[in-house]
Amino acid sequence: MPNERRCAQLAAWGSAWLAGAAAFDDVLDAVTGTGRHVGGPGFGPGPNPVGAALAEWKRAGTSVLTLALPVPGDIRGLAGPVPFRGVALQAGEAVYGRDFGLTVLAGRETPSSAGRELIWHRAEVSELPPDPVSMADAEHELTESIRETASLFARRGVTSWLTDIAPALSDARRAGERLHLPASHPPRAVRLIAQAERLSAVLLVVDSDDTAQLTAGATAERDQALAPLRLAVRRALLAGYNAAAEVSAGS
């Protein structure tokens, strides 16, 4: 699961299940994966919190789930009370259905082979702020950002901003091959997610690059140069994972 986007997986797989295009157990397998999943604030004691939330969304008449990918300085699409928004901002993602939303944070390591504890947070939400981003717009913005960023790096000289990260970049470019999406997910959205996940993985490699050779000014210049691409990648992920909502709105 690239970058462990569990809320993104829930938006895609949960929407497929609500539409009758995926099995309940397949949703749980896609979203929870490894780790011990527990219900945190907003959940009572009981079974897998993702399964409980899905069942409640269905009873409430939810037809499609919506993803938000907030970052500091850009919290479009993020809803809920202040404590929940703070957790979602820390997680970098949240998913919403009718009446409430979810987000998830990693907790402590468990002593068993189950891996890290994953704590789901739930909050009541009356209305989502509008954050429309279509696949067509996201594709255009991503293409333009790639072109402009490549041109800027070519003029600046990539080697002056990056050390030898070729092996890591080669692996990162395969991130789009490791997608796990429902068969019913629109092919156009799958292609968009694959491209965005590859670029997201590349950006993570760049972020982890040893910048000891760079001055603070050069590092800031590099971050500024990459900012438009980061935004375009995030918007592409939103459009791709929220494709079911776009298709539903257009039908």
Higher pLDDT, 162 or 8: 8
- What residues pair up with 94 in beta bridges, in sequence order? 68
- What is the maximum span of the chain, computed from C-alpha positions, in angstroms? 57
Please give the model's pTM, rounded to 2 decimal places: 0.88
pLDDT digits (tens, 9 = 90+) for 181-193: 999 999 999 999 9
pLDDT digits (tens, 9 = 90+) for 103-152: 999 887 666 666 678 899 999 998 887 777 899 999 999 999 888 887 87
DSSP code, position 74: B
Look at residue 183 in the predicted model and tell me its pLDDT.
Answer: 95
Q: Where are the beta strands (DSSP E) in the chain?
A: 36-39, 66-68, 94-96, 100-109, 116-124
Of the chain, the percentage scoring pLDDT greater than 70 comes to: 83
d(CA 187, CA 173): 20
Look at residue 172 in the predicted model and tell me its pLDDT.
Answer: 55
**Whether 161 contacts 190, CB under 8 Å:** no
Of the chain, the percentage scoring pLDDT greater than 90 comes to: 51
Domain residue ranges in the chain = 2-124, 135-250
pLDDT at 178 over 80: no
DSSP code, position 71: B
Among 35-39, 171-175, 227-231, which stretch is predicted with the lowest mean pLDDT? 171-175
| Cβ contacts of 21 within 8 Å, gap of 6 or more | 182, 183, 184
pLDDT digits (tens, 9 = 90+) for 208-249: 765 556 677 777 877 888 899 899 999 999 999 999 988 876
Letter string b/e over residues 220-239, b meaning 16 or more CB atoms within 10 A of that residue's CB: ebbeeebebbbebbbbbbbb
